Amino acid sequence: MLTRRSLIATSLLAAATPAFAQAPAPNDPAAILTAIYTRAAKGKGDGGGAFIIENKAAKAKYLSKALVALWAKADAHTPKGDVGPVDFDPVTNSQEPDVKSFKVDAKKMEADKAVITVTITGHRNDRKPADQVVRYDFVREANWKIDDIKGSSDGEAWSIRKMLVDALKN
């Protein structure tokens, strides 16, 4: 039986539901990067973010299917004993990770694509301003996945996707 009290409670719950629907999803690209950089900045901030590419399971968790497949092809093309096509930590844009703080900024959000930048501040402050910014291209598959990581090192632009493609040409 529907009482006045249950009718009011149901109405209030229905009215509140859209507010909950507006909350950012845990697999939102900005939330994903915030979690990655929070982990990279822990302790002395020298742990880095290479954990997103350290093995097949990590790549499958964070990277798009197309990027994982390209990476596997490039790794298979690498001569035995050589370093793979990506020989640095792309998350921290460094050989020696140093993350004191970071700022995540959504540049472009569409239904199936997103571009997010992360500006990193280190403890040493020895980077050029352009080298402090790492750009992520996301695609929506079942969940949001990183489809490319871009940045610059000493003013030279780099892209993980381009590095992998170039590794296949050699």
Distance CA(99)–CA(107), nearest Å, equals 22
Q: What pLDDT score does 34 carry?
A: 96
What HEC string does the chain produce?
Answer: CCCHHHHHHHHHHHHHHHHHHCCCCCCCHHHHHHHHHHHHHCCCCCCCCHHHCCCHHHHHHHECHHHHHHHHHHHHHCCCCCCCCCCCECCCCECCCCCCEEEEEEEEECCCEEEEEEEEECCCCCCCHHHHEEEEEEEECCCEEEEEEEEEECCEEEEHHHHHHHHHHC
User: pLDDT per residue over 141-168, tens digit each?
Assistant: 999 999 999 999 988 999 999 999 999 9
Q: What is the 3-state secondary structure (H, E, C) of 100-146?
A: CEEEEEEEEECCCEEEEEEEEECCCCCCCHHHHEEEEEEEECCCEEE
Residue 3 predicted with pLDDT over 80: no
113-121, strands of its sheet edge to edge: 101-109, 113-121, 133-140, 144-153, 156-159
Taking Cα atoms as reference points, which of 94, 102, 90 lies closest to residue 37? 102
Mean pLDDT of 13-28: 46
Q: pLDDT tens digits for 74-95?
A: 999 888 888 888 999 999 999 9
Predicted confidence band at 17 (pLDDT cuts at 50, 70, 90)?
very low
Domain spans in the chain, listed from the N-terminal domain onward: 26-169
> Is 26-169 CATH 3.40.1050.10?
no
Tens of pLDDT, residues 27-79: 799 999 999 999 999 988 888 999 999 999 999 999 999 999 999 999 998 88
> Model confidence at 26, in pLDDT bands (50, 70, 90)?
low
Structure confidence at residue 9 (pLDDT): 41
Instruction: Please report the pLDDT score of residue 158 as a whole number.
Output: 97
pLDDT value, residue 18: 38
Q: For 6-19, what is the mean pLDDT?
A: 40
User: d(Cα 64, Cα 148) in Å, to the nearest integer?
Assistant: 9
